[in-house]
Amino acid sequence: MTSTGTAETVETLQDVLVERVGQVSLITINRPDARNAVNQAVCIGVGEALEAAEQDPDIRAIVITGAGDKAFCAGADLKAITRGEAILPPGREHWGLAGFVNHPVSKPTIAAVNGAALGGGTEIVLAADLVVAADTASFGLPEAKRGLVAGAGGAFRLPRRIPPLVAMELLLTGDPIDAKTALELHLVNKVVPAADVVAVALALAQTIAANAPLSVRAHKRIALGLDENSLSTADATGWAMTSEEIARTSGSEDAKEGPRAFAEKRAPQWTGR
């Protein structure tokens, strides 16, 4: 395999595709009929692909995208949750949603956002080092509209990525933004035609892959405040606070009312309890 852009599929799972494109690992969440919602198989597939890329000296960068042209990722699979299925695989819960959001790797990660990225989809975006978005993409953390808490890193990462006042507005209103606004806020690096999003992300990854790998990883660690194991002290604090708030709110009446009202297509009746 050369770095000319020719792709070779190295692993195919039902819900995750992994390809080697030169010195880049391309990971695709492959559930377009479910808007690429995350189930346990996605967590395992993406997480294992990250582990493989991290251990492969010939892989210099990682791109993650979603299948189809409608959605990058719709967050956790609510139907699977309703069936009582665990989203995070036993023993690998520390990887976080999609096996990605709390799964540190030393190599640069690029999100190629091919459509809607709401809730957990935006949290995957926030966990990536760089972002290329389709002009059809949208972003947002709507949890406040559902009586929930953004549990995959969004509540503490969004204020780091965009102006804090704007982040606070998006967190408290739950309103989405389009790709143009995301670019203006520096939430994403580039906005391109939807048909080109993966190709542009791969080109960016190949540019990075052509550089000295030790220098690239060193710059990532310095920029993100990571230790030699790619762990962030700031993230550790954010995760701890997120867990505390989820524990405080998850058993509330409002946390039950929000999803119920959404399913019944009516306005929620909040009680603050």
Residue type at position 138: S
Burial of 70 (0-12, 13-18, 19+ CB in 10 A): middle
What dihedral angle (degrees, nearest 10) is formed by the CA atoms of 140, 27, 55, 233? Answer: 0
- Of the candidates 143, 169, 228, 244, the residue annotated as catalytic is 143
Sheet holding 138-140, edge to edge: 71-73, 116-118, 138-140, 177-178
Order of strands across the sheet with 109-113?
Answer: 7-12, 16-21, 24-29, 61-66, 109-113, 130-134, 190-192
CB 153 within 8 A of CB 242: yes
Q: Which residues of 178-208 are buried (b: 16+ CB within 10 A; e: fewer)?
A: ebebbbebebbbebbebeebbebbbebbbeb
The phi-psi region of residue 27 (left if phi > 0; otherwise alpha if psi is between -120 and 50; otherwise beta) is beta
Annotation marks residue 228 as catalytic? no
Pairing relationship of beta strands 138-140 and 116-118 according to DSSP bridges:
parallel
For residue 27, the cross-strand partners are 18, 64
Backbone φ and ψ for 8, nearest 5 degrees, come out as -130, 120
CA distance linking residue 235 with residue 224, whole number of Å: 10
> Which position among 123, 228, 253, 257 bears the catalytic label?
123
Supply the residues annotated as catalytic.
123, 143
